[in-house]
Amino acid sequence: MFYALATGKLDTGDLQFRSVLKDIHSLNLAAASSLYHVTAISVAAYPAVASSYQLLPCGGSLGVGYGPVVVAPRQMEARELLESTIAIPGRTTSAYLALKLYLGAEPEAEEVPFDRIIDRVAAGNFAAGLLIHEGQLTFRDSGLVMVADLGAWWREETGLPLPLGANVVRRDLPDSVKVATASHIRNSIAYALANRDEALEFALRFSRGIAPPTAARFVGMYVNDYTVELGTVGRRAIEALLTRGFPSESNDGSIPLDYVKIL
């Protein structure tokens, strides 16, 4: 998504962008202290930072009938999951919020770096694990089975894609800077979609050894039309997840789901 911005493919005028690569849970925690002017975060983390950040209508990651998966060495019922300790990529992630909604309760969970969950579950350290990123495609290589696809479950429940990630910009920036930032990010995404091979080649530098076909498949799952523009359906999906996930806050209107407008 950010290939064109990171490599100077776009003319951004007076604005300069510096890329910071971190896992999503770390970015969620950084957003709590307003560390970055613009950042990717989990949709589930937005209520905690809504007073400091405004949503962008581009850069979102939505699972269209698929999403984070729960895996284990054997098939398990939801009741068993609630009686077990689950390795999760972070309590601030949308994947974990979706898991709680799926189970109807908060499970016993332990935070584990997302790229180590498969190994920890396969080694028997946890009864099950919640996978984000490319682990959704590679877990079978470690002898694990899918217990639940949270994106598929969410689609059955709501008819909507599962909103996982979003881009936000700090509210204290001038409106002109926020609008320009949103426009540049949208243009960067459009550039990547129009130049998939070179954008993917760039992304593979940070891919932790993922095979190119797997990386291409994963990118295709989460960089799509909703990434360019959330649109009505994407915005409804975010509202639905936050309303269900944070009912006490959503009902009194304390989560301002306002978006920067792109000219």
Instruction: Please report which confidence band the pLDDT of residue 135 belongs to, taking 50, 70 and 90 as the band edges.
Output: confident
pLDDT, greater one: 224 or 237: 237
Residue 251 has pLDDT above 60, yes or no: no
- Summarize pLDDT for 161-177 with one digit per residue, the tens: 999 999 999 999 999 99
Residue 180 has pLDDT above 70, yes or no: yes
Average pLDDT over residues 145-167: 97
Residue 95 has pLDDT above 60, yes or no: yes
The pLDDT value given to residue 254: 64
- What domains can be seen in the chain, in order of their start residue? 3-62+162-251 (3.40.190.10), 69-158 (3.40.190.10)
Average pLDDT over residues 233-254: 84
Average pLDDT over residues 172-200: 95
Give CA–CA dist 87/242, Å, rounded. 23
Lowest mean pLDDT among 22-36, 71-85, 118-132, 217-231: 217-231
Residue 252 has pLDDT above 80, yes or no: no
- The angle at the Cα of 47, spanning 42 to 192, to the nearest 5 degrees, equals 30
> Which span out of 14-18, 67-71, 132-136, 221-225 was modeled with the highest average pLDDT?
67-71
Instruction: Please report which confidence band the pLDDT of residue 210 belongs to, taking 50, 70 and 90 as the band edges.
Output: confident
Global pTM?
0.93
pLDDT, greater one: 195 or 214: 195
Average pLDDT over residues 155-160: 97
Residue 136 has pLDDT above 60, yes or no: yes
Instruction: Please report which confidence band the pLDDT of residue 106 belongs to, taking 50, 70 and 90 as the band edges.
Output: very high
The pLDDT value given to residue 81: 97
User: Are 197 and 219 within 8 A, CB to CB?
Assistant: no
133 is catalytic: yes
Q: Which of 25, 37, 133, 184 is labelled catalytic?
A: 133
